[in-house]
Structure 1
Amino acid sequence: MNLSIKNHGIQFVTEGICPFQDMETYYAQLEEITKKLFKASRAKAFCHAARGNSEGYGTWAHTDHAPGSWSTEMAKIAATQQSNQSLPDHFLPPGLTMDDAKNILKAKRFAVISVWRYLGPTQKCRKSHLALLDASSLQGPDDYLHFELRTAPDSSGLSYSGQNFRLKAKEEGSNTNHRWFYFPNMDKDSEAIIFLVYDSKPTFDSHCHIPTVFHAAFFDPFSPPEEPERQSVDVRILLTWDHNVE
């Protein structure tokens, strides 16, 4: 099956993916790749999460951000701009600035994507794969539950509180019609997965119109027992379009 962001919220990519060097170089590579791939006016890699043990993996099928949170934040910024008030950068998602917010406000469309990549320690990923839900297979609001994710204060004293969704578990009445995908034996030097965090104008056919992709790590019973825990990184990227795009 040929998965795409446009139709499923998921896309497997190899073009332009090079052996990992460092985060600064990788950010620049991803900005170039995603801007070209999605014909965006701008692409900005603004934060990432690196994971190297099973405790860091999300085993509940979850979203990275409640989609409505993005539109709510942008409405707040728009109101601030109209009243000529200043808004500190820490009111924005980590890694974004007011200049980025202004680009979003003037854009005809904006999206946030995550690029997930296996980093080792072996050449191929054979343990704790990332599974992703075809966004077009969501049936309705009864498929998921709302929760709030809170973090402890960082070195500057700031804490993060984010609105998220998770899919219902089997005992909670999970939907058996969902379509899940994963990519076995991903190569650490040449392959990556892109999935949607938010889209202001989603194009896939979702019954509940949630412009995001649920995902989770899962245990593969066929993984070699001696296989070490995988290391991975996912980078979040803001895309903006100043033109109409399908």
Structure 2
Amino acid sequence: MSTVMAALPCAERTPAVEAELNYLAPGTTRPVNYTFEPPAGTPWSSGTLDPRRVTIRNARPLAEAGEISLDRNGFQLISHRSAVSDFTDESLIRLVYRPEAEALLRDMTGAEKVVIFDHTLRDSANGSRASSTLREPVRRVHNDQTFVSGPRRVRDHLDAEEAQRRLSHRFAIVNLWRPLSVVEQLPLALCDARSIAAGDLVPTDLVYRDKTGETYSFLANPQHRWFYFPRLRPDEALLLKIYDSLENGAARLTAHTAFDDPTSLPDAPARRSIELRALLFWPAKTDAH
């Protein structure tokens, strides 16, 4: 399901940039991240960071050539203009944007059912990890689910009978990531799923007020191939593969992080974005396992 990409100005065709990404240091005990202010004396995030300077390639030419896809690389650029212009209005997000996103995800992936289970607004100037409504960009290499927590999400959001039935066939979790203005600072770096090894993944606790989830942190690996899409616009969006139950060689997850783009101007506007995380379910006939 290809999309027609508009002609791009030269500024968006920078071949690559060099930037620092925050990996997890080897030998770190199981990291813990809090989604709310932790108890006194407890850090928001544990685990020692291991910053590494890497090459991050411009993926726009590859996307235009049809060489980037969700199942091959773990991420994909799509062209889509939302009917919502005011993302500060929670009712518009729930009544307009979520149904719009469900239809888009079905169309782009062929899934027969889509269940959006959360959304997050981010703002690099005004967002805070202490806020549940407006968060700051995450500057650590991570993936939002693990091979353990992915199936848990199905049980969390479907009744027991349907969950049992859906878990016997292919399902995935996908992040639909959209900028709310042209991204001029802190773009998203995306790791080609084919360059990730099992030993790079570090299960990490994500503590909510009512439960503990699990995400992946990542160890540095010189084989990682990093990409980004310069100056993403609000009429564009990214699909990120967070989990896939299918074990047929397709991407099962990817890694991503915000990064300091060395080409950004010092007075560049704040990065504003919204992400939706959704369960995708396919009929039994699409299974290959």
Give me the TM-score of the superposition, normalised by structure 1.
0.76
1-side partners of 2:231 and 2:280: how far apart?
29
| 2:151 aligned counterpart, secondary structure | helix
Distance 1:225 1:46, change over 3 A: same
**1:147: Cα distance to partner?**
1.9
**1:26: Cα distance to partner?**
1.0
Q: Once the two structures are superposed, what CA deviation does each residue of 1:167-218 show, in whole Å capped at 9, x if it has no partner?
A: 12xxxxx211111111111111x10000111111044467xxxx21111000
Answering whether residue 147 of structure 2 is matched by residue 62 of structure 1, we say no
Distance 1:64 1:227, change over 3 A: same
Distance 1:28 1:202, change over 3 A: farther
Picking from 184, 194, 201, the partner of 2:246 is 201
Picking from 215, 221, 231, the partner of 1:185 is 231
Picking from 151, 163, 167, the partner of 1:101 is 163
Distance 1:49 1:241, change over 3 A: same
Distance 1:212 1:53, change over 3 A: same
Counterpart in 2 of 1:23?
A: 93
**1:46: Cα distance to partner?**
2.0
| 1:44 aligned counterpart, secondary structure | strand
2-side partners of 1:19 and 1:110: how far apart?
28
Answering whether residue 74 of structure 2 is matched by residue 12 of structure 1, we say no
Q: Considering only aligned residues, what root-mean-square deviation do their CA atoms show, in Å?
A: 2.2
| 1:192 aligned counterpart, secondary structure | strand
2-side partners of 1:113 and 1:196: how far apart?
5
The 5-angstrom pairing of residues 27-176 of structure 1 reads: 27-53=98-124, 55=128, 56-71=136-151, 92=156, 96-98=157-159, 101=163, 104-105=166-167, 108-120=169-181, 124-141=182-199, 143-151=200-208, 153=209, 159-168=210-219, 174-176=220-222
2-side partners of 1:72 and 1:111: how far apart?
12
1-side partners of 2:221 and 2:196: how far apart?
8
Runs of 5+ in structure 2 lacking a partner? Answer: 1-61, 86-91, 129-135
| 1:37 aligned counterpart, secondary structure | helix
Distance 1:221 1:102, change over 3 A: same
Q: Once the two structures are superposed, what CA deviation does each residue of 1:124-169 show, in whole Å capped at 9, x if it has no partner?
A: 211110111111111331x232321213x2xxxxx2311221112x
Distance 1:101 1:134, change over 3 A: same
1-side partners of 2:275 and 2:153: how far apart?
23
Distance 1:130 1:199, change over 3 A: same
Check whether the contact 2:176–2:237 (CA below 8 A) recurs between aligned residues: yes
Check whether the contact 1:42–1:240 (CA below 8 A) recurs between aligned residues: yes
Check whether the contact 2:142–2:257 (CA below 8 A) recurs between aligned residues: yes
Greater RCO, 1 or 2 (C-alpha within 8 Å, sep 6+)? 1
Check whether the contact 1:50–1:231 (CA below 8 A) recurs between aligned residues: yes
Task: Give the residue type in structure 1 aligned to 2:201.
Answer: Y
Task: Give the residue type in structure 1 aligned to 2:124.
Answer: N
Distance 1:196 1:232, change over 3 A: same
Picking from 255, 270, 273, the partner of 1:214 is 255
Say how many residue pairs are matched. Answer: 205
| 1:220 aligned counterpart, secondary structure | coil
Counterpart in 1 of 2:44?
A: none
Check whether the contact 1:130–1:218 (CA below 8 A) recurs between aligned residues: yes
Check whether the contact 2:150–2:173 (CA below 8 A) recurs between aligned residues: no
Task: Give the residue type in structure 1 aligned to 2:110.
Answer: K
Picking from 223, 227, 235, the partner of 2:276 is 235
**1:101: Cα distance to partner?**
2.5
| 2:273 aligned counterpart, secondary structure | strand
Counterpart in 2 of 1:226?
A: 267
Give me the TM-score of the superposition, normalised by structure 2.
0.65
